[in-house]
């Protein structure tokens, strides 16, 4: 008879996510994961198969948390372009106050691994698609409210905002808040 798991997979995945977020994929060892997740290597291999399996599950969970919490302002916006600015500023504040000092796990992963691993790139693509869809939805509503350029191609601007979002998630770790505010204000001017 198989033994019953003594842990919650979602909880241990979130713990692993923190390890990858703090150290990156390559610098994270299985021993580090074992220590942080609070389960033995046998259980990790049984449930996740490999370090990459743990990482992929961490990326899936991070995307889900983004959808439920971080991107909520964009996803539920009534089309007010100020929601984009507020979203950017909240992210900057989160980094600067130490709540998320390492920025965005997806941005970090894109910089560290890029497109070299097909399965990881697939997770990056899913996140960037989610982010783009949030912007398309918001800009479509903003256009109906005449807050957004009437002749502007929504997909093109949504792609632009995905790039701005990921750029902010990288530079928020090093630039001062006033410079980041200038960057955000300039991006917002491009939408008018």
What's the average pLDDT block by block, 10 residues per block, for the chain (192 residues)? Answer: 72 96 96 96 94 97 93 93 96 90 91 93 96 96 89 93 95 93 95 88
Residue 192 is predicted with a pLDDT of 84
Return the sign of the alpha-carbon dihedral for residues 44, 13, 11, 100. positive
Quick one: tokens of 160? 């632009």
Q: Which pTM was predicted?
A: 0.90
Q: Tell which residue, 192, 86, 69, has the closest CA to residue 139.
A: 192
Domains of the chain, with CATH numbers?
Answer: 8-70 (1.10.10.60), 76-192 (1.10.357.10)
Pairwise CA distance, residues 159 & 136, whole Å: 9
Q: What is the pLDDT of residue 1?
A: 46
Rounded-to-5 percentages of helix, strand, coil across the chain: 70, 0, 30
Q: What is the pLDDT of residue 3?
A: 57
Dist. CA 16–CA 59, nearest whole Å:
10
């Amino acid at each position: 008879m198989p033994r019953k798991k003594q842990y919650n997979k979602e909880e241990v995945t979130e713990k692993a996510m923190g390890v990858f977020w703090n150290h990156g994929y390559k610098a994270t060892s299985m021993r580090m994961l074992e220590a942080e997740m609070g389960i033995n290597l046998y259980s990790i291999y049984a449930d996740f198969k490999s370090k990459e399996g743990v990482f992929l599950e961490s990326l899936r969970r991070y995307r889900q948390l983004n959808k439920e919490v971080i991107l909520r302002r964009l996803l539920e916006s009534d089309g007010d372009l100020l929601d984009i600015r507020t979203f950017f500023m909240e992210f900057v504040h989160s980094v600067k106050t130490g709540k998320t000092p390492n920025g965005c796990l997806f941005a970090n992963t894109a910089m560290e691994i890029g497109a070299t691993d097909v399965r990881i790139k697939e997770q990056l693509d899913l996140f960037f698609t989610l982010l783009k869809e949030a912007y398309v939805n918001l800009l479509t509503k903003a256009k109906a409210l005449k807050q957004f350029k009437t002749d502007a191609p929504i997909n093109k601007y949504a792609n632009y905002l995905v790039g701005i979002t990921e750029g902010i998630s990288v530079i928020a770790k090093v630039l001062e808040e006033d410079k980041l505010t200038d960057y955000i204000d300039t991006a917002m001017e491009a939408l008018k």
